[in-house]
Homo-oligomer: A and B are copies of this chain.
Amino acid sequence: MSVQQRRERERAVRHELIVRTARELAESEGWDAITTRRLSERIEYSQPVLYSHFAGKDAIVAAVAEQGFAELAAARAAAGTAKEAVVAAIHTYLAFAEANPALYDAMFVLGTDLPFAQATTPAPLLAAFGQLHDVLAPLAGDRDSGVFTEVWWSTMHGLVTLARGGRIPAGGQEQRVAILVYQLTGTPP
């Protein structure tokens, strides 16, 4: 039985190698540059090996995305007052997106058929949304805190994607965050 265990261990290592390599490659050259051939070359295996681990390229992207959900959930910022918590959460979110653009795309832009807000939604994703909810809920007033969170998440997501696509100047995010905080808390940051 030990043989099989070793093999499963080796498979798991290679599985992780594929995900890590895909992420590194995407982060350095963008998802468009990720082809199964280049990826297989990087991990020093042939193409079909990828398909013994994943159903297809989309599944690899999804695996990278899931890593991202876990990391985003883990990037919990230190919380002081309610307002400080909101400011910290916003900066954490935007910094995460800026530091890991390809990862962010895998999570929130690509693969529009991920199971979100469903029974099969990945736990780390629920955790990440839950953290944002916890921080924003105190500011919701008499409005539904879940919908309230969705709206402000949309704002942050819009800021990230519009800035990344060059639709709004990439440089002015601080000013926008200031307005965001003002709008949320009623006072400047």
Chain A residues near B (Cβ < 8 Å): 108-109, 112-117, 143-144, 147-148, 150-151, 153-159, 161-162, 164-169, 172, 175-176, 179-180, 182-183
Chain A interface SS verdict (over half): helix
- Give the number of copies in the complex: 2
Cβ A151 vs Cβ B147 within 8 A: no
Give CA–CA (A41, B114) in the complex, Å: 33
Give CA–CA (A32, B137) in the complex, Å: 38
In the complex, chain B residues whose CB is within 8 Å of the CB of A148? 179
Give CA–CA (A151, B166) in the complex, Å: 14
Q: Which residue of B lies closest to A114 (CB)?
A: B166
Q: Which residue of B lies closest to A164 (CB)?
A: B112
Given contacts A153-B162, A183-B151, contact A169 B117 (CB under 8 A): yes
Give CA–CA (A175, B154) in the complex, Å: 13
In the complex, chain B residues whose CB is within 8 Å of the CB of A180? 151
What would 22 A/B residue contacts be, using CB atoms closer than 8 Å?
A108-B167, A112-B165, A112-B166, A113-B166, A114-B165, A115-B166, A117-B167, A117-B168, A147-B176, A150-B162, A151-B155, A154-B154, A154-B155, A154-B157, A154-B159, A154-B176, A155-B158, A157-B158, A157-B167, A158-B159, A158-B161, A183-B183
